[in-house]
């Protein structure tokens, strides 16, 4: 989809704009938005409302053709609910409804002239981003590996967004497009079959991003990981024939002396559970166990496109978790890069085993903050469902501030998270008779004990953990990666600038 932004005024009026369709908002109390009033030259829109042909309820639509006094071939009326309480839900519903109609039109171009700055507790930049991401989602296809591709999407391909302060919103539009493109990459990686999206494929993707956007990239191989004594990461990788890759991307957008923000993404490109084998039904969805890694790569694509003036480092430990004669066994004890020993009580709790060495590796960058992102626990889905990511961090001034930054970025984008507790009382559940700690806790609070496990490897910097097990992909008829939490992470980084 091609987007642009334009201000319409008394010289270049909306009514005089030559386009295939103009979408404008109407309300339940039969009121017209300012843009609808500008097109109501001969009272056709007012008449349509009075006739009851459109209710004005959120998402309701009415397509008018050949409206007198309007140069556009069509005018699309879109309901937004009550005009005095335009909520983000109502606005989002209106955008989705307009896009559905656009897809059916015989025209390639359209204008969206919605009241961007009138959504309660939101600004025009939020409305702009919501519009762009929704349009991007509407045209996203999952047929990359089909022999016969779906028919190319018809309808509108170019959208002009009408805004009174168009000049001030050009940067916001560019940022919105960058976030949408980052989400696309994350979705594409997640949806690829696991025989294609291997650790090597993720490494190649990182190299391509580096080439396109000028990142520095380093791919550590098995011998280098052995030299670094990443015994925990390598214990997961050794069951597979696919070689592990440890990916490091650097975006040097800030001043050379500025401490970087480090993003760490779990990159299990397929998770069988290892010797602690998962049940067969829905195991295909374990290709999504690299969505933490995918979101880090997607975020890098977004910040690279927008040229973000911040130093950011991405770390992706990538491997498969497979059962074999070489695979880790329940009861094995491994030594992590930090020197802490770990008793592996369940080989299906492998994400934390690769992340802990990555979190230790992050120390060398003397980071301003480290955020790890992982499809870590099914327990997080039990706690929060599929709408909200889990956020975990320590409780002190610095960590509370980091948590609020991440929560606020989620609220800004609708890519929301919820903070859950961690603490020493939960660490008690990770005690082992034979090693420094176990890789699973005693029953209860499994997503919390997983976060507590990671926290043991983050004592030298400010850190937060995002559990995206419930938000990274959808199951059922809508099966596919969601692109989350790219909006949250990218906005968090933008806010830091």
The single residue of 278, 474, 479, 496 carrying the catalytic annotation is: 278
Tokens of 125: 């930049």
Q: What distance in Å separates the CA atoms of residue 173 and residue 484, rounded to the nearest whole number?
A: 19
Residues 6+ apart with CB under 8 A from 28: 55, 56, 57, 79, 81, 82, 83
Counts for the chain of helices (H) and strands (E), in that order: 15, 20
- Distance, C-alpha 128 to centroid of its chain: 17
Q: What distance in Å separates the CA atoms of residue 263 and residue 257, rounded to the nearest whole number?
A: 19
- Distance, C-alpha 208 to centroid of its chain: 20
DSSP 182-235: HHHHHHHHHHS-TTTS-HHHHHHHHHHHHHHH--EEEEE-HHHHHHTT-HHHHH
Q: What distance in Å separates the CA atoms of residue 367 and residue 379, rounded to the nearest whole number?
A: 30
- 343 — phi, psi (to 5°)? -90, 120
Q: What distance in Å separates the CA atoms of residue 218 and residue 38, rounded to the nearest whole number?
A: 56
Residue keyed to tokens 């993720």: 202
352 belongs to the catalytic site: yes
The single residue of 74, 250, 352, 484 carrying the catalytic annotation is: 352
Residue keyed to tokens 């008018």: 64
CB count in 10 Å sphere of residue 13 = 14
Tokens of 143: 């047929």
278 belongs to the catalytic site: yes
Just list the catalytic residues: 278, 352
């Amino acid at each position: 989809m091609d987007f642009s932004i334009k201000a319409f005024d008394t010289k270049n009026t909306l009514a005089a704009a030559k386009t295939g369709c103009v979408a404008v908002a109407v309300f339940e109390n039969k009121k017209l938005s300012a843009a609808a009033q500008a097109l109501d030259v001969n009272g056709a829109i007012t008449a349509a409302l009075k006739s009851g042909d459109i209710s004005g309820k959120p998402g309701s639509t009415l397509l008018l053709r050949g409206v007198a006094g309007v140069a556009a071939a069509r005018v699309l009326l879109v309901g937004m609910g009550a005009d005095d309480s335009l909520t983000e839900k109502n606005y989002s519903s209106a955008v989705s409804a307009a896009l559905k109609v656009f897809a059916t039109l015989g025209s390639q171009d359209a204008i969206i002239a919605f009241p961007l700055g009138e959504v309660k507790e939101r600004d025009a930049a939020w409305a702009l981003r919501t519009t762009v991401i929704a349009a991007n989602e509407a045209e996203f296809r999952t047929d990359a590996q089909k022999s016969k591709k779906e028919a190319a999407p018809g309808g509108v391909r170019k959208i002009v967004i009408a805004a009174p302060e168009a000049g001030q919103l050009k940067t916001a539009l560019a940022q919105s497009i960058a976030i949408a493109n980052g989400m696309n990459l994350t979705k594409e990686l997640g949806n690829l079959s696991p025989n294609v999206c291997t650790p090597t494929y993720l490494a190649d993707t990182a190299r391509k991003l580096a080439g396109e956007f000028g990142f520095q990239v380093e791919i550590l191989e098995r011998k280098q990981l052995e030299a670094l004594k990443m015994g925990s990461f390598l214990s997961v990788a050794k069951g597979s024939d696919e070689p592990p890759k440890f990916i490091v991307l650097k975006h040097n957008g800030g001043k050379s002396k500025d401490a970087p923000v480090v993003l760490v993404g779990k990159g299990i490109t397929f998770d069988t559970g290892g010797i602690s084998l998962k049940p067969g039904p829905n195991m295909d969805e374990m290709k999504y166990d690299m969505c933490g890694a995918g979101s880090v790569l997607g975020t890098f694509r977004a910040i690279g496109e927008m040229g973000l003036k911040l130093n950011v480092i991405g770390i992706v430990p990538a491997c498969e978790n497979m059962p074999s004669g070489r695979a880790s066994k329940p009861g094995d004890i491994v030594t992590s890069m930090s020197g802490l020993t770990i008793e592996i009580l369940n080989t299906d709790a492998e994400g934390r085993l690769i992340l802990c060495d990555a979190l230790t590796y992050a120390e060398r960058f003397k980071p301003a903050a480290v955020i790890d992102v992982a499809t870590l626990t099914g327990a997080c889905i039990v706690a929060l469902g599929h709408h909200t990511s889990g956020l975990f961090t320590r409780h002190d001034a610095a960590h509370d501030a980091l948590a609020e930054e991440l929560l606020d970025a989620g609220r800004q984008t609708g890519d929301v998270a919820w903070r859950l507790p961690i603490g020493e009382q939960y660490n008690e559940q990770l005690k082992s008779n034979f090693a420094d700690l176990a890789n699973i806790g005693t029953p209860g609070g499994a997503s919390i004990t997983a976060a507590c496990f990671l926290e043991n490897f983050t004592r030298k910097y400010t850190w937060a953990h995002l559990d995206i097990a419930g938000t990274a992909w959808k199951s059922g008829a809508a099966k596919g990666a969601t692109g989350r939490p790219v909006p949250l992470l990218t906005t968090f980084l933008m806010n830091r600038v």
